[in-house]
Amino acid sequence: MSLRYEEIGQRLRAFRLGSGLSADEVADRLGISRTALYRFEKGELAKIETLERLAELLRVSLPTLLGVGIEYIPSAVAYFERLRQLEETAEHMVVLAGPISFLLASDKFELALEQVLRESVPDHLQNRAKILDDVDRIMEILHERKKAYQQRRPPIVNLISAMQIEPFLKNGLIGRVSLTESKLAQRRELARAEIEHFASVIEEESIGVQIGLVTDSLPHTGFQIFRRRAGDVLIISPFRLGEQTNIRVGVAMATSAPEALALHEDVVKEAWRTAIKGREAAAYLRELVAANQPATRSQARERAAGDARPR
């Protein structure tokens, strides 16, 4: 297979960001200039020996760096950067990634997300400071992704799992469960507002945006398909934003293998065939939101009275 040096450079940048090393640090360890490193990241030809040393330094395999076979993506920072890069040239995207698709999410969701990601990092971790630094990088990348999407507006198909929306509404937009009750109430309100936002997006029927609400089972691990002139790419990832937030654990994978793409396309076709769409989907989402509204004082008293009745 022929190597695409521009894409090698993109992977190099993604894995460097994921490593937490600055361009100066990488250049110093390899004995090259920062300018040379930036040229490599822009797709300039590098010697295979240099690529081998870069792969070793960034703790990825040479085949992964070259894009030969399956590309293993060991960090959330590298994963979101790879998404950003692929979205730049995607002509069509399919997203199956939990109850919330970030590109279609509201501004309020993005504003709240940084705090959610920070609170998802346990206090006892030895590398907590690095992970919190990763949160800053992730938010920068996410902001760039949203901005680029709004400028280009490539067509997007988003499959949403109804079974993942229900716990999202129940628990709220949280990174951990050990929050105060008042904070939990605020986060549940944010979750309800976000699902209402998606109901509105569905009703708008914007050109290039198709959303299907799947009431049947969907894979718990999200995936995205990028259709591009340079070749289609499938990314499978354990990293999640929103419900059951995860930016620490797991390994994402990217591949252009025809079999993998075809199998996941089949999953998409079947899910889309059975999905609720349009006004019916919007109404379904609003029913879920209504069912998860906090009880009024009178309703709470009625429930308490009912519980007190002899059985």
DSSP characters over 57-90: HHT--HHHHHT-SPEEE-SHHHHHHHHHHHHHH-
| Residues 103 and 201 placed together within one structural domain of the fold | yes
Q: Check whether 290 has a pLDDT greater than 70.
A: yes
**Are 18 and 141 contained in the same domain?**
no
Kindly report, residue by residue over 4-32, the tens digit of the pLDDT: 888 999 999 999 999 999 999 999 999 99
Q: Are residues 159 and 13 in the same domain?
A: no
Average pLDDT (48-61) is 92
What value does the mean pLDDT take over residues 55-59?
A: 93
Considering the domain boundaries, does residue 307 fall inside one?
no
| pLDDT tens digit sequence for 248-263 | 999 999 999 999 999 9
Tokens of 285: 């989402």
In sequence order, what are the residues at sequence separation of 6 or more whose Cβ sits closer than 8 angstroms to the Cβ of residue 207?
Answer: none
Q: What is the pLDDT of residues 167-184, one digit of tens each?
A: 999 999 999 888 999 999
Given a cut of 90, whether residue 47 has pLDDT beyond it is no
Q: Does the pLDDT at position 308 exceed 60? A: no
Tracing tokens 């007190």 back to the chain, one arrives at 308
User: What is the domain range of residue 50?
Assistant: 1-66
pTM, whole model, 2 decimals? 0.89
> What mean pLDDT, rounded, does the chain reach?
91
Confidence class for position 300, pLDDT limits 50, 70, 90: very low
Angle among Cα 147, 141, 22 to the nearest 5 degrees reads: 140
- Asked if residue 209 and residue 262 are part of one domain, the reply reads yes
Q: Residue range 202-223: average pLDDT?
A: 90
Least Cα distance to 131 among 251, 247, 253, 12 occurs for 247
Total of domains in the chain:
2
CATH code of the domain covering residue 284: 3.30.870.10
Burial class (CB in 10 A: 0-12, 13-18, 19+), 84: buried
